[in-house]
Chain A
């Protein structure tokens, strides 16, 4: 009996040893594996967006920043009562919404109230504390300190779409993220967004948060310091708006316009206005679909940035290209004298009686079409095409804005393909005064004008001077460098400048004359079949330009000299009168 008891005792000890061995395997040898499994079941990684980078203008003034907002939401499945308190706080139709959410998406956020004001916030905090399942979410949204000013340029942010997510997933974007949808917000999104914070959230078996451990602090987005001068931008938009208002009254239709101001020695964009504009603030708070539809279906196309998104015939402003090309090719000299009889090969000068005997300078100053018909005819399409390309016309300037359009630089091959027709001499003649197939953006005209003004350097225009990280480290500084040198001798460009100065002094653009500095300019009036588009390109001071201003008015009717030049004058005066 005692022997058998001993057998039982030893067998029991062996059994316990088996348990201990198993425990050793699990808790010592494979502990890491099990610990990882425990983590997987009880840890959730949550990422919170970082504060988005701010935007400053060239004088260091804040243009876009962030402001806090609060929203109250419930997770319907977590509600365990407190419905009456909620009903009181939220008001009507809460019950049906809740019932619907409980049926369809009980674990998803049901937002009760967005954009709480200070008074509502106190009540909401109470509610979130006392009723389980009710949460208060604090977020940040974009704040535009200049309202609608420069809306196209700055752009706006919105929730990422499924398509954007597919393209951007590898850059750390996730569902529900706010991303730049247009303008600089879009172009520089990856710098502006910063890096999200990472929280390791421990949950219980029902998925409720137990504890949240911050694994990585958010890294705020980079700050963009723009080349833009918000004062000049405001002046440009106001001047443009006043004229457009007057035109809308006169024409019975709202049409758009654009103003571009560049620094010719670098390509810095000082102002870039496009009207009609949109208000970015509804986008920041979450635009309603009715508001969005209204914006998208507005015939005046407020979402289009006319300075970079749309291209038009340049009209007579193109004559500076034809003129400089003809000089370079030796087809004329600055001292040439032409004769204008009012028409050339069937095409009329806009002064139908003709300009008579007219010098090179005068041909630009008075914008004599006949002279340019002839110079264009002599140049031929191949050479004209080459000079256009040199000036960057018909191709994107490379500005740091998304979706820039290139316009159209036609040649015989293009015409054959697009229209199935041969290129005629008349096409060349038409093109030499900026009519016909050639399509350019106001920004391209500004870059070309800057090249004339600075003696032949073609710059890539840009809006961001430097990118600074939130703790002050410089991430990126713009290095203005000419994209190319125009294949035109400086003295020929000087002659073109002379002609443009003449236009302001005694020719078509006298409305742009400013007492502050000598202005040079060139008007353009484009026949469209309906009302004319009008242009005015200008720079000042004429000897050593510090600013280029291009004004474009879409279907305004009238003439560049009378409509566009006064707008340029206001922008020039604002810039020249301002002590830098």
Chain B
């Protein structure tokens, strides 16, 4: 027992993580309320319930030693794979927007692919962090070919299941998590680069028609200003029209009157952009920078490979979604349908994101270097 363990528990909480998450949740919820207010605001109130549940979950995971989580991990992984497979079974999975993503469990509709993101982080951290170290390369577990390959297989199975829904965005999140964790765990840069190149080379052949269209529209929105390009044009217009100070909360005309499609889910950043302006968007990004920076600090202090990789995985998951989502609303990335963490409406994502923060907080809470 290290002396830190005996410290009073509130002193062992990471308050940077806590307040950054609280602030992001608050701003996001206001944006969601603003986006849905004209239509009754039901989503915002339901999201408030998910946030509350998410915080309870996060608190529980903070208290739980991550190494105990490692014991549960294989079962979580297998269970999640089972759910993902079940989604694809006709009659069990529920379809929306042409893709099967949801499953109903005891009256609650759940999106297993969201859960899979966190479970993949857990399983890779366990695989890489608790692997028997090469005595010559103690901090580079992924340098071993066998470990590297196992990680790829562990990612590949859920990737294929999710890509088959089809939900390319979430599938790409798994890839990003895997690549970043392998890189940090010391995987060969040559192998990783080779993987990325191969992936990009194969991509055009595996993309579905509509996904190819999205890419084309992204490159030239005027191709289809009434259809898919419309979302993009409206999104950029809303953000740009916010100006420096924004139109004021609940006062953005495009937001308030339905001009931006899906602005309570994938395009929620447009609400921040239009109503809170450049200060708002930069402040919002800064909150994420604080959150992610805190995670890097926690990873540094984790002391062991497992804890550090856990945090790295969560970092990769959140950072990738943040970047791709915001870049998409700004017209810098194709419309791939990724939610903005903590912001886009959706119960599964909200619970999983807050649970991830809980896992990170748990690493900090139980970390050996904590409070040094």
Contact = CB atoms under 8 A, between A and B. Distances in A.
Contact of A210 (B180, B241, B257, B326): B257
Contacts of B244: 27-28, 31
A34 B323 contact: no
Given A8-B180, A8-B315, A27-B281, A19 B327 contact: yes
Nearest to A203: B257
Contacts of A38: 237-238, 240-241, 253-254
B258 A206 contact: yes
B176 to A, nearest CB: 11
A13 interface: yes
Contact of B236 (A9, A34, A210): A34
B124 interface: no
Contacts of A33: 240
Interface stretch (B65-73, B102-110, B181-189, B207-215): B181-189
Interface in B209-233: none
Interface string B290-330: 00110010011000010010001001100100110011001
B180 A19 contact: no
A15 interface: yes
B253 A42 contact: yes
A422 B363 CA distance: 121
Contacts of B316: 8
B242 A19 contact: no
Contacts of B241: 31, 34-35, 37-38
A35 B281 CA distance: 17
B254 A41 contact: yes
B250 interface: no
B186 A13 contact: no
Contacts of B322: 16
Interface string A504-548: 000000000000000000000000000000000000000000000
Contact of A31 (B139, B242, B300, B315): B242
Interface residues of A, number: 36
Contacts of B312: 5, 8
A86 B305 CA distance: 74
Contacts of B288: 16
Contacts of A12: 292, 315, 319, 323
Contact of A27 (B253, B273, B292, B323): B273
A439 to B, nearest CB: 64
Contacts, number: 127
Contacts of A37: 237, 240-241
Contact of A23 (B185, B257, B259, B282): B282
A21 to B, nearest CB: 10
Of A16, A30, A35, chain B has the most CB atoms within 10 Å of the CB of A16
B333 to A, nearest CB: 10
B239 interface: yes
Contact of B289 (A16, A23, A205): A16
A18 interface: yes
B253 A35 contact: no
B9 to A, nearest CB: 27
Nearest to B140: A1
Nearest to B129: A1
A26 B257 contact: no
B267 interface: no
A38 B254 CA distance: 7
A533 B296 CA distance: 110
B332 A22 contact: yes
B93 interface: no
B277 interface: yes
Contact of B240 (A15, A26, A210): A26
Contact of B300 (A2, A28, A35, A206): A2
Interface of B: 38, 139-140, 180, 183-186, 234, 236-244, 253-254, 256-259, 273, 277-278, 281-282, 285, 288-289, 292-293, 296, 299-300, 305, 308, 312, 315-316, 319, 322-323, 326-327, 330, 332
Chain A to chain B: the 6 pairs with minimum beta-carbon distance, closest first: A34-B240, A204-B257, A38-B241, A27-B278, A31-B243, A205-B258
8 contacts: A8-B184, A19-B326, A23-B282, A26-B236, A27-B281, A41-B259, A205-B259, A210-B256
Given A1-B305, A34-B239, 5 more contacts: A5-B184, A15-B323, A19-B327, A19-B330, A42-B253
